[in-house]
Structure 1
């Protein structure tokens, strides 16, 4: 019960997962997890990345401003871990579904939301995430036979979520 979509374009997975979570919340499905939004600041700087915690109204900035000429990873690991802590608290309430905005480098390295994905699956809570094409092999190594690929279509993903959600 680990559904995933492969995101193709920059920010496409974020937008897709956000749209799914928005509709599920509107339908009253109890969720744990986080979705990402990217806010452009100005044309000379990279966007700000924020995680919106689905069990409440918290927003956690997960990007760092490293300057205009930076080329390194802008992810703020402390912000990501703070978001994961908020999601862990919500996971204890037994949601119908865990949504993780993406299975990225931090998760590949065993950090970020990776432990929560394992916890949710162990509790029988289905998980939905997005995976960048370059991370699919590492994701499948982690997920093994639990991974179920989903089409990049909001309605199809919602149908999967509704069919697999844990009874509240």
Structure 2
């Protein structure tokens, strides 16, 4: 009921999750959650990180510009929590599937989308996310053996989602 991918290249998992979410929505699946789309400028500048809320037209910027020489975390925690709030509202409506752009440092620390992932799983709603290698140990602890690792392949991820949706209809 909890599937996850790990991209090999920067932005790979984001792009595949966005493609799968778009396909599922075209197929009439009620998908809640967010996908991340990065706006790159050039290799010497950090990208903008935006979360697209799947149940509406909202786009929430979750990065902040700290300057060219900054080494600190660029995550805008307020932006992330705004996106979490929007997804919480959508989750209350009982979607067919929850897609979360990633289980990252915030989730590893018990914040961000982590509570919503647990809430969806408790309600029997399948969840799809991405996991960065640096968050894998925390994710494994959180998932407690309930997660299925998927290759970062559109077809495999879509097949996983459709299998989960069929299994949910049979219950």
Same-fold call, TM > 0.5? Answer: yes
Deviates more, 1:117-126 or 1:36-45: 36-45
Q: Which residue of 1 aligns with 2:73?
A: 73
**Superposed CA offset, 1:125-157 (max 9, x none):** 000000012221110000012111112110111
What's the offset of the Cα at 1:115? 0.3
How far is the alpha carbon of 1:41 from its aligned partner? Answer: 3.5
2:107 aligned partner: 107
Once residues 60 and 149 of structure 2 are traced to their aligned partners in structure 1, the CA distance between those partners, rounded to angstroms, is 28
Aligned-residue offset at 1:43:
5.0
Mapping for residues 19-98 of structure 1, pairs under 5 Å:
19-98=19-98
Structure 1 Cα separation of the partners of residues 62 and 3 of structure 2: 24
TM-score under structure 2 length normalisation: 0.94
Q: Following the alignment from structure 1 to structure 2, what is the Cα–Cα distance between the partners of residues 68 and 21?
A: 33
TM-score by length of 1: 0.95
Question: What do the CA deviations read for 1:5-47 (whole angstroms, capped 9, x no partner)?
Answer: 1122111111111111111111111011000000023554211
Q: 2:56 is paired with a residue of what secondary structure?
A: coil
CA RMSD of aligned residues (A): 1.1
Structure 1: stretches of 5+ with no match in the other structure: none
Aligned partner of 2:162 in structure 1 is 162
3-state DSSP class of the match of 1:7? coil
Aligned mates of 2:56, 2:34 — CA distance in 1: 10
Matched residue count: 167
Instruction: Specify the SS of the correspondent of 1:65.
Output: coil
> In the aligned structure 1, how far is the partner of 2:42 from the partner of 2:151?
33
Question: Paired residue for 1:5?
Answer: 5
